[in-house]
């Protein structure tokens, strides 16, 4: 059996190699081989050229955004299982083992959801780091690195919405929550979310807020439609 880890990447600098390394550091103990699919979304900083390894599949596209990149990765993935990871985040060392065993031990489940913790990126000086806020305790979240599932099940959710300029993962995982797929929530951290100066929510705050408003409207409409059935 194979796991495809899908990483969309746009000018991720050294963060990308750290994300890939975190996948390669995964502990043994689960019957999965791993392929790492990096989708270069038109990067200009040379981050993808740093990568090497037989476990890597590097795909290229003109800059279209993270949704289009993830969709490309889903179409090309050869694994029976999928896991998404953002290029600036890292998996904890036993993330895949925890997610895999959590899924197979819960009969009938198609998706396992982990938890996240945040950290301030190590390259920032003390003054800059002090000005950035992070959550102090682990949390369950609609984030890449938290969702592990069977590919055939995740494809039922559909692809990521390319019309959204932010919050596309929240939208996709909300559709998962509203689907008939059985999920299992694990009380373990699977991903460390990096806080830095170029987080999408920081750089594109207005677009992200507009995207979240769109997502909320969609969820309210879906709930109304569900009540009418």
- Model pTM score: 0.85
Domain count, the chain: 1
Nearest to 46 by CA among 20, 10, 19, 70: 10
Domain coverage including residue 193: 2-228
Which whole-number Å values give the CA distances from 93 to 7, 29, 64, 202, in the listed order? 17, 12, 31, 28
Over residues 29-69, the pLDDT tens digits come to 678 899 999 999 999 999 999 899 989 999 999 999 999 99
**pLDDT of res. 98:** 94
Question: CATH number for the domain including 82?
Answer: 3.90.550.10
Which whole-number Å values give the CA distances from 165 to 47, 170, 173, 206, 213, in the listed order? 22, 12, 16, 10, 12
- Mean per-residue pLDDT, 180-195: 94
3-state secondary structure 65-131: CHHHHHHHHHHHCCCCEEEECCCCCEECCCHHHHHHHHHHCCCCCCEEEEEEEEEECCCCCHHHHHC
Lowest-pLDDT range of 45-49, 160-164, 220-224: 220-224
- Using left for φ > 0, alpha for ψ between -120 and 50, and beta otherwise, residue 101 falls in alpha
Name residues whose C-beta falls within 8 Å of residue 156's C-beta, 6 or more positions apart in sequence. 179, 181
Distance from C-alpha of 142 to C-alpha of 154, rounded to nearest angstrom: 15
Do 70 and 84 meet the contact criterion of CB atoms below 8 Å apart?
Answer: yes
**pLDDT of res. 29:** 65
**pLDDT of res. 109:** 95
- Mean per-residue pLDDT, 159-171: 85
- Mean per-residue pLDDT, 111-118: 95
């Amino acid at each position: 059996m194979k796991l495809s880890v899908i990483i969309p990447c746009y000018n991720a600098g050294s963060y990308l190699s750290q994300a890939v390394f975190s996948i390669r550091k995964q502990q043994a103990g689960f019957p999965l081989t791993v392929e790492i699919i990096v989708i270069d979304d038109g990067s200009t900083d040379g981050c993808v050229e740093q990568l090497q390894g037989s476990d890597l599949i590097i795909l290229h596209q003109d800059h279209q955004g993270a949704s289009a990149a993830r969709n490309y990765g889903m179409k090309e993935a050869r694994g029976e299982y999928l896991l998404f990871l953002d290029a600036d985040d890292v998996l904890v060392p036993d993330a895949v083992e925890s997610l895999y065993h959590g899924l197979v031990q819960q009969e009938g489940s198609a998706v396992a959801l982990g938890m996240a913790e945040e950290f301030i990126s190590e390259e920032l000086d003390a003054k800059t780091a002090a000005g950035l806020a992070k959550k102090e305790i682990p949390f369950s979240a609609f984030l890449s690195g938290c969702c592990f599932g069977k590919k055939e099940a995740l494809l039922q959710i559909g692809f990521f919405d390319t019309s959204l300029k932010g919050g596309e993962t929240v939208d996709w995982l909300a559709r998962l929550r509203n689907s008939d797929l059985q999920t299992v929530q694990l009380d373990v951290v699977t991903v460390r979310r990096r806080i830095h100066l170029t987080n999408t929510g920081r750089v594109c705050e207005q677009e992200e807020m507009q995207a979240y408003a769109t997502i909320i409207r969609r969820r309210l409409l879906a709930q109304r439609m569900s009540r009418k059935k």
